[in-house]
Amino acid sequence: MRKALQNQINGAEKERYRIIAVDDEIGIIESLSVFLKRTDYEFVGITDPVEAIETIKREHFDLMLLDFMMTPLHGDEVVEEIRKFNKELYILLLTGHKDLAPPLETIKRLDIQGYCEKSDKFDQLLLLIESGIKSIKQMQEIKRINEELEETNEKLEQAYLESVQTLRYTVEAKDTYTRGHSDRVSEYSVLIGRKLGLPEEQLKILRIGGLFHDIGKIGIPDSILQKNAKLTDDEYSEIKNHPSIGAHILGAATIFKDIIPIVKHHHERYDGRGYPSGLAGENIPYLARIAAVADTFDAMTSRRSYRDALDLQYVKDEFERCKGTQFDPQIAEVFINILNNEFDKIKEIQEKY
């Protein structure tokens, strides 16, 4: 598996991205050096976290692999210092054991993109690095687009929509079973928003957010997205990274700021058991709660490689059962009412895509 992933990276990456690893165990640095120098990445390994901070001030790096338990500074303290002068560095935290990882609140506050347990095998780490590099590439591309748009404000709206379309088509091309999924989620979200009486400005955010909600899947390996069998725990954990990856990709461009809450939080649950942030109730952005209902409905009523579309009555019963747990009860009730009384509008959207 490792060799296949390395071949994929070597074939796909033309630009030499710079990776810095910081770990006070010289053996870990040496192992990472041997492993990563087989790829096309430029690698720098440092055992002193204070020296690492100064190095990052002087030199450009795209991605950092950072040990959590170090002296004289822990990994979170290193990130705290780096974030004072560098907000864009993609950071993957390495832990000796998942129980030693920093609290979720710390990871969110410091904008740490992910963490991985140390292991003699580097397969999972390579998956995370691959996803990180894909996210960095897309973030750089969107930043470039944004800089061009600032010079041509009169073309902002059209270029914005074209950027949305191009990137989401790239995502859907990776998985034929989700073809049309984002279009339907977009339209279902707007349908629900209209029933809730939202103004046109918010309906527009819902429309674009629905189209773009799964953009983070561009950072998920094709081998996982296209797998027909049941995903392993590691693979499922990788899939669960896509909302954060999407938000990170879009964060480089101010034109996407209004839809980022939808992209990042459409898999949160009303009872707080969702991901990536474990938000609950009204702490979940309102438009993301709407998109969550639309996204789940389309997932349940679309054919997958492992099952047919679910029966409509079963879907209604599930929404009824999950009001107040998975879904905002008010939004779920409005959608159930649409399914019961205006299903012709749902059918129209399904037939359109």
| Cβ proximity of 79 and 45 under 8 Å | no
pLDDT value of position 190: 98
In the three-class reduction of DSSP (H, G, I as helix; E, B as strand; rest coil), residue 88 is classed as: coil
On whether residue 26 sits in a domain, the answer given is yes
Classify residue 277 by its DSSP letter. Answer: S
| Average of per-residue pLDDT across 63-88 | 90
Residues 199 and 95 in one domain: no
On whether residue 137 sits in a domain, the answer given is no
Give the ranges where the chain is alpha helix by DSSP (H).
2-12, 26-36, 49-58, 75-82, 104-109, 123-151, 156-174, 181-195, 200-212, 222-225, 233-239, 242-250, 260-265, 286-301, 312-321, 329-341, 343-352
On whether residue 257 sits in a domain, the answer given is yes
Question: CATH number of the domain that 271 lies in?
Answer: 1.10.3210.10
pLDDT value of position 173: 75
Question: CATH number of the domain that 98 lies in?
Answer: 3.40.50.2300
Q: Where is average pLDDT lowest: 113-117, 284-288, 291-295, 347-351? A: 113-117
pLDDT value of position 2: 42
Residues 294 and 169 in one domain: yes
Is residue 13's pLDDT more than 50? no
Listed residues 106, 121, 136: the one ending a domain? 121
Domain membership of residue 73 as a residue range: 2-121
Residues 169 and 22 in one domain: no
Is residue 4's pLDDT more than 50? no
Tens of pLDDT, residues 176-188: 666 789 999 999 9
Residues 162 and 97 in one domain: no
Residues 159 and 214 in one domain: yes
Is residue 7's pLDDT more than 50? no
pLDDT value of position 142: 85
Other Cβ atoms less than 10 A from the Cβ of 150: the count is: 11
| Average of per-residue pLDDT across 258-272 | 97
| Average of per-residue pLDDT across 82-104 | 81
Cα(215)–Cα(209) distance, integer angstroms = 10
Is residue 309's pLDDT more than 60? yes
Residues in contact with 20: Cβ distance below 8 Å, sequence separation at least 6, in sequence order: 43, 44, 45, 46, 52, 55, 56, 61, 63, 64, 65
Tens of pLDDT, residues 187-234: 999 999 999 999 999 999 999 999 889 989 888 888 888 777 778 888
On whether residue 130 sits in a domain, the answer given is no
| Average of per-residue pLDDT across 139-160 | 72
pLDDT value of position 100: 65
How many separate domains does the chain show? 2
On whether residue 179 sits in a domain, the answer given is yes
Share of the chain above pLDDT 70, in %: 87
Residues 227 and 336 in one domain: yes
**At 254, is the pLDDT very low, low, confident or very high (cuts 50, 70, 90)?**
confident
Enter the tokens of residue 128: 């995370």
Residues 194 and 117 in one domain: no
Residues 110 and 207 in one domain: no
Q: 99 or 64: whose pLDDT is higher?
A: 64
**At 14, is the pLDDT very low, low, confident or very high (cuts 50, 70, 90)?**
very low
Residues 176 and 220 in one domain: yes
**At 126, is the pLDDT very low, low, confident or very high (cuts 50, 70, 90)?**
confident
Residues 334 and 246 in one domain: yes
pLDDT value of position 305: 67
